[in-house]
Amino acid sequence: MAYTTETRSAGLGQRISAFRASLADRIAKNKTYRSTYNELQALTDRDLADLGIARSMIKRIAIEASETK
């Protein structure tokens, strides 16, 4: 007995739609990163210490915040 499987590649419209969704997601993540980073950078060392954050941790925290979006 012979079996056939039907395979279709994504059409151009689907690929464009997926690209736009991916681009929108990256833009949203970048916006969250920049916002978090800038807000934490604007805090004084005392404010950061009250939050338990060292200035050297700001970049990592901003990255983590953008990845959870």
For the chain, 69 residues long, give each residue's pLDDT as a single digit of tens.
667 666 666 689 999 999 999 999 999 999 999 999 999 999 999 999 999 999 999 999 999 999 986
Q: What is the pLDDT of residue 6?
A: 63
* 39 inside domain: yes
* 4 inside domain: no
Residue 4, phi then psi, degrees to nearest 5? -125, 145
pTM for this one? 0.76
* 27 inside domain: yes
* 57 inside domain: yes
The residues, any chain, with a CB within 8 Å of residue 43's CB and separated by 6 or more, are 51
Range of the domain at 63: 12-67
* 33 inside domain: yes
For 7, 33, 35, the CA distances from 4, given in Å and listed in that order, are: 10, 48, 52
* 3 inside domain: no
Could you give the number of structural domains in the chain?
Answer: 1
* 18 inside domain: yes
Q: What is the pLDDT of residue 1?
A: 64
* 19 inside domain: yes
